[in-house]
Amino acid sequence: MRSDIVKELKSVTAEGNIRTREDMGKHTTFRTGGCADVFVTPQSVTEAADIVRLLLAREAKYMVIGNGSNLLVSDNGYSGCIVCMGSAVGDITVSGNVITAGAGALLSKVANAAYESGLTGLEFASGIPGTLGGAVVMNAGAYGSEMKDVITSVTMLDADNGQTVIFTGEDMKFGYRTSIVKNHPLIVLEAQITLDEGNKEEIKERMDELARRRKEKQPLEFPSAGSTFKRPEGYFAGKLIEDAGLKGFSVGGAEVSEKHCGFVVNKGGATASDIIELIKKVRLTVNEKFGVLLEPEVVILGEDIDK
C-alpha cells in the first residue's frame, strides 16, 4: 500500500511533503510512539482536501492530526497515512470581530491574533497547545470557557462524498470534549470565530493570569497530552486518582504527575506501552475504589485500552 499511495500523493503535493516510516514521537506532545507508514503535510486548505479525497478514492486507511497534543500512537505504529494539518494550513485573518483560521493554526496564535486586534473571548485558549482543528473536534476548553462559545461556522470535508460543507456553531453539536465530528466522517478545514470588542490591556492581563495559573498547577516541564482523562460527572479525575493513592505512581518512564494527578507525564524515556499500561492501571484502581470508570481524553491510536 505504501509505495502505491506515495506515488499517487505526489500528484497532489510536493515530494518533500511526503515521508515514510515517520517517527510519531516527533509529532505528539507525549514525545513517544511508533512510526506511521506514510506521513503527509498539506501546504494549503485546498491541498489538504485534495489529499483526503485521494485517500478516500483509494479506500486507504488514514487519520488527520494537528499538533498531536491529544494523541498517543502505540509502539506498533500506524499502518496507514497520517495527514498532518500544520502551520501551512494555518492562515489567520481578522475582519472586524471575526477571525477566520485554517485547521492547522495553533490555538495560541489564534488567541494572540484576537488580543492584537483587541478582541475578547478567546483568552482561555491562549495556553492550550493544540491546533484549531483539533480544538473544534473535541470542543477544547479551559477555565470555564469552551470553543462552542466562540465558533460560529466550520468548513469541513465530508469523507462520505468528498464534498466541502459548512456547518454553523449549532450544527456542530458541541458537548463536553465532543462535537459532531466525533461520530461522523467530517474533517475540519477552517473555522470562523466571532468575538467581542475588548480592552487590550485587560485581555493581556487575563491571558497572563491564566498562564501563571497553568504554570503553578500543571506539570508543563514534562511531555504530556494535557489532562489524560475526561472529567467524570460529579467528580474531578485528578482528585479521584490522588485519593486512590496513585500520585507519583509510575510504569517505566511514565508517571502520574505529582504536581497534578490528572496528568500522565513522560518523565524520560517512556514508551507508548508504558503510558498505556499506566492509564489502564489508573482506570482499574479508580474503578475498584470508587466505582467510577475514567474515560481517556487522550486519543490512543493502535491499541484498545478496554482489552
- 247-286 as b/e: b if 16+ CB within 10 A: bebbbbbbbbbebbbbbbbbeeebbbbbbbebbbbbbebb
- What are the cell numbers at 304? 484498545
Cα separation values, 162 from 5, 34, 111, 305, Å? 18, 29, 31, 32
Catalytic hit among 69, 126, 179, 227: 227
Residue 35 Cα to chain centre, angstroms: 18
153 flagged as catalytic? no
Catalytic hit among 177, 190, 257, 283: 177
Catalytic hit among 123, 146, 190, 297: 297
Instruction: For residue 71, count CB atoms less than 10 angstroms from its CB and return exposed for 0-12, middle for 13-18, buried for 19 or more.
Output: buried
Residues 181 and 191: their CA atoms lie apart, in Å, by 13
227 flagged as catalytic? yes
Spatial CA neighbour of 306 closest among 291, 289, 297, 293: 293
Residue 73 belongs to what H/E stretch?
strand 71-73
177 flagged as catalytic? yes
Residues 83 and 12: their CA atoms lie apart, in Å, by 13
HSE-CB for 46 with a 13 A CA cutoff: 1
Per DSSP, the three-state class of 296 is strand
Residues 101 and 191: their CA atoms lie apart, in Å, by 6
Residues 179 and 120: their CA atoms lie apart, in Å, by 23
E strand segments, 171-247: 186-194, 196-197
- What are the cell numbers at 135? 480544538
- Catalytically active residues are 177, 227, 297
